[in-house]
Structure 1
Amino acid sequence: MPISFSPVSTINARDVFLQKIDKELDLPAIGNAVARVVQMTSSDEDAVADLTYFILSDVALTQKILRLSNTVRYRTVSGIQVTTISRAIYLLGFNTVRDCALAMLLVERLSSAKHSHAVRAELVKALYASVIGREMARSSKRSGAEEAAIAALFANIGQVLVAAYDYPSYAEIASLVENEKIAQDAAGVKVMGCSFSLIGQSVLREWNIPEAIVQAMTPAPGGALKPSQKTQERMQQIASFSVETSGVFSLKSELAKITAKNALIARFGSALNITSDQLADLIESAETETRMLAEIMGLSDTDLTEDSASAQSETAGIPNELLMNPTPVASEEGEERHPSGKPVKARDRLLAGVQEIMQMTSAGHAQANDVMLHMLETLYNSMGFRFATICLKDAKTGEYRSRIALGEDAARRRAGLIFTLGKQRDLFRLSMESDADLMISDASDTKISELLPAWHRELFHDARSFIVLPIIVQKNPLGFFYADRSQPAPEGVPSDETALIKILKSQVLAALGHK
């Protein structure tokens, strides 16, 4: 006899579960981070800068994206190491980096929860689905493809949360699906009073994720699907295909995989115009990338292959602290630095940045904004600055405004950095008038402090060393790079480092000259 629940009882069950997990997990905090990334679209003019800033604000996320960029799968033919996030976005593509950042956020915030093996297994499925969704989006010229890939990533967020915060229900649902062949959502309603899908959609709505993405998470109707001209329906088909294809990843027998692939073609082949050979290639490529991503994110090999519920039972009762966990990505905190914060090997970092920017510009596809962002990030990382920005002149008002900013308190400083170069004699005016790069090692020196404008003393009152690099094209002042530290830098900037900075700047000027 079919199980029947009223909408009211279903909603109550959902609310009870969400209230339970909100006590242990700060859902709004995760939601704010996720929503910020989801709202970034490749068509937005400031998207690359915004995504770069977001990633750089999280050290662990930065290291993982750079590690991904330097894997065999993504490294360029030249073999030059990728050292900046802006370069990673340029090479891998905006959508790839954004979707990977979203996946890494989920893994970082949720993989250490109780019953971590089951949670990690579900997160791997989400990774796999997102890779499939991204590949489908890449080959589609239809609107909504980007959103479908994001929906694929979040489609099993309900499973992840239930595995983490109500494991007995998760295990019982898995048992019903396997032994009684009940559909997963129906099993969820039977055990918990609400489905995984409802939980997932409710969480995403709480996070203010666009409704089109939330709706695309709804499983597509059963049976063979037909091609659709409706954007929302096609998004739903791509997301469902991605999620159902992710089930192939954990199958062990070749016969089971063949059967599953045939079922996928029968169900989605016509709707998504995909053949058996194309599906086989897609699955092989996605498996390779998923394993690579899982390794970078610290998900173990057992998470990739074993059934989550059965594997969890094998370690039941053993504290997570006693289980062998993957080694986290090594940080750069141990790198030798001067007291100012500047890396001792600043020259090597600058050289890597120069090699990257030369490769970008020689390919002929780099936009001026990409080149400027790359230089800013190279300066910020190579020289150990606490804050770095690009200020550009507004042709109508004559005001200089911070357009892109990285580092400590970047949002506040960027918002406040609006000024004009008056007639007063100060460092910034002198630098612009003479087109001179300034590298100040001790801003407290009287000769220097007397030349600091009021806006700088107010906004950067604790800056003790800084650089100013004017941007002038054909005698037309366009703006400048500015970066500072809160400590003096008596080590200065040696001639070899200065030369590399000038090369970086020359590439920016060349890109602006051809704009």
Structure 2
Amino acid sequence: MSDFLALPSAPGNANAARRLLMQKISQNENLPALGRTVARVVQLTSSDNEAQSELTYFILSDVGLTQKILRLANTVFYRTANSTAVTTISRAIFVLGFDLIKTSALAMLLVDRLSDRQHAHSIHAELMQALYASVIGREMARKSSYQGGEEAAISALFKNLGRLLMAAHDHALYSKLIGLIETDGLSSAQASMQVMGCSLEMLAESVLQEWQMPPAIIRSLAPLAAGVPKPAKNRQEWMQQVAAFSAEAAQLLSRTGTAAATERSATLLARYGEALNLDSKSLDQLFGAAGREINILRASMQLELEPVSPEPALAPIAKVVLPTLPDDMLMVCGNAAEGQIGSSFPSGKPFNASARLLAGMQDVTQVMASGRSKVNELILLAMETLYSSMGFDFAAFCIKDRKSGQYRARMTIGKNHIVRQAGFVLPLESTSDIFHLALGNDADLIIADATTSKIIALLPAWHRTLLTDTRSFIVLPLVVRSVPLGLFYADRTTLAPEGVSPDEAALIKALKGQVLAALQAGDRNNIG
């Protein structure tokens, strides 16, 4: 932010006000963490093979964000024709699209991380302006022929960052700015020059440089020259025009609702119509679509995730007993949820686990049938289904790696998943630990209490070291014609005496069967 502080002195107290504002922003210990988080999401691009997995991992690491994205995906506006509930982030990305989920997650992050401060009303108003602008920018990107147009929605989101930061860190200065605009009739640029000696865009650019945002996004925040802009000659000019238009349109939309046909919308159209190929009809359609989407986004941010539909009735399956494994390690059947109050067992397993598993299995079926998915994405969707449906804290997918002579975790989600993935390694050679017993017998194991002496004796040393807080877990071997390919593992930090019901056991086996089919059809060497 040194360039921002080094600006020439402004008249009166503006220079001192600017320095005080930057000092307050710099002292906010939470802002650098927000910057790193935002930068991580912005850098994900839909053209990157691993971007969908990375975005899924990121969203799942934040429970609140996960709930908001799922709620968004389950609104009538976004639900698919078959009205199947979306219960996983992987499925939400598949249905709504990578770019929509990405920009929605960014907006939700700003709302979550900057809302909990004093002067909440002003901050909320500026956050809503940023949200409106982002949605309008997204609508413009959908109609654009430029590749990577989703960056325009991100630019539009950040266009209001200067006012937002001022409202959050120096409300007296912010109130002065608003007074000059609303009472004295100054433009935003004139008012910001008067109160701090520079534009609000320069404040936003300074912070975004600290956050290491892509240069194209930072440059797009620069104010447009006075007058009517000409059609853009390149993508950078177009992004700058969309960001400016979206910010102005957001102010209009937030104040007037469906703002087409008002005097101010006519002024907006007169300035940007030629450059952005807009007429009164297309502007009206733009405001209508953006208004509907904004209402949906606001609802998804403010309300909790709706419960999934009641558990369906499925035929029970017979319990399979293998002589080489004790009965109490196999998936046992029970109906422990009957008569319970609340949404989950003390272990964290949802009472409607069967309904969630069924929805996830249907998601996998639809994704496979689309022909648009990769093996990685199917496995991640299946693992996320298991993880969320059964209330696990950590989950891993391991695959055989002949080069290293090991089973290695290629995908993980949940608690400390990055660190745990590096250490989640099994030797190929058969041993007497619980993982090789499951692989050797092709037996799905559910361990309700991992603290008993019998189970501890079967745990390998690496597991006891890496997963010290495990209290219950599941092992699902992936075996084809007696040849082990890998396994799913998931655990909790709590005991799980409820076990699994017959319906849950059947659905878990079916889900595992889908993964085996994908592994046999795809290239196992390129997983992870």
Matched, 1:402 2:409: yes
Q: CA deviation at 1:357?
A: 2.6
Deviations 1:432-460 (A, max 9, x none): 34433222333344554443333223222
Name the % identity.
Answer: 50
Q: 1:119 to 1:338 in 2, by over 3 A?
A: closer
- 2:209 corresponding residue in structure 1: 205
Q: CA deviation at 1:497?
A: 1.0
- 1:82 corresponding residue in structure 2: 86
- 1:238 corresponding residue in structure 2: 242
Q: In the alignment, is the contact (CA less than 8 A) between 1:353 and 1:378 conserved in 2?
A: yes
Matched, 1:98 2:73: no
- 1:503 corresponding residue in structure 2: 510
- 2:330 corresponding residue in structure 1: none
Of 439-448 and 92-101, deviating more is: 439-448
- 1:421 corresponding residue in structure 2: 428
Q: 1:396 to 1:119 in 2, by over 3 A?
A: same
- 2:387 corresponding residue in structure 1: 380
CA distance in 2 between partners of 1:472 and 1:275 (Å): 60
1:280 pairs, out of 278, 284, 293, with 284
CA distance in 1 between partners of 2:57 and 2:154 (Å): 20
2:220 pairs, out of 181, 192, 216, with 216
Q: In the alignment, is the contact (CA less than 8 A) between 1:158 and 1:197 conserved in 2?
A: yes
1:467 pairs, out of 474, 493, 499, with 474
Q: 1:243 to 1:424 in 2, by over 3 A?
A: same
CA distance in 2 between partners of 1:244 and 1:487 (Å): 52
TM-score by length of 2: 0.83
**AA of the residue aligned to 1:19:** Q
Q: In the alignment, is the contact (CA less than 8 A) between 2:156 and 2:244 conserved in 1?
A: yes
**AA of the residue aligned to 1:7:** L
Q: CA deviation at 1:204?
A: 1.3
Q: In the alignment, is the contact (CA less than 8 A) between 1:176 and 1:182 conserved in 2?
A: yes
- 1:391 corresponding residue in structure 2: 398
**AA of the residue aligned to 2:69:** I
Q: In the alignment, is the contact (CA less than 8 A) between 1:114 and 1:165 conserved in 2?
A: no
**AA of the residue aligned to 1:329:** E
- 2:9 corresponding residue in structure 1: 9
- 2:525 corresponding residue in structure 1: none
2:47 pairs, out of 43, 48, 53, with 43
Of 470-479 and 120-129, deviating more is: 470-479
CA distance in 1 between partners of 2:258 and 2:401 (Å): 63
CA distance in 2 between partners of 1:437 and 1:255 (Å): 59
- 2:374 corresponding residue in structure 1: 367
Q: In the alignment, is the contact (CA less than 8 A) between 1:335 and 1:343 conserved in 2?
A: no
Deviations 1:70-118 (A, max 9, x none): 1110112222221122211111111111111111111112223322222
CA distance in 2 between partners of 1:258 and 1:169 (Å): 31
Equivalent residue of 1:297, what SS?
helix
1:167 pairs, out of 165, 171, 175, with 171
**AA of the residue aligned to 1:72:** V
Q: In the alignment, is the contact (CA less than 8 A) between 1:431 and 1:470 conserved in 2?
A: yes
What is the number of equivalent residue pairs in this alignment? 481
Equivalent residue of 2:348, what SS?
coil
Q: 1:340 to 1:170 in 2, by over 3 A?
A: closer
Q: In the alignment, is the contact (CA less than 8 A) between 1:144 and 1:235 conserved in 2?
A: no
Equivalent residue of 1:9, what SS?
coil
Q: CA deviation at 1:152?
A: 0.7
2:34 pairs, out of 18, 30, 33, with 30
Matched, 1:118 2:132: no
Q: In the alignment, is the contact (CA less than 8 A) between 1:173 and 1:191 conserved in 2?
A: yes
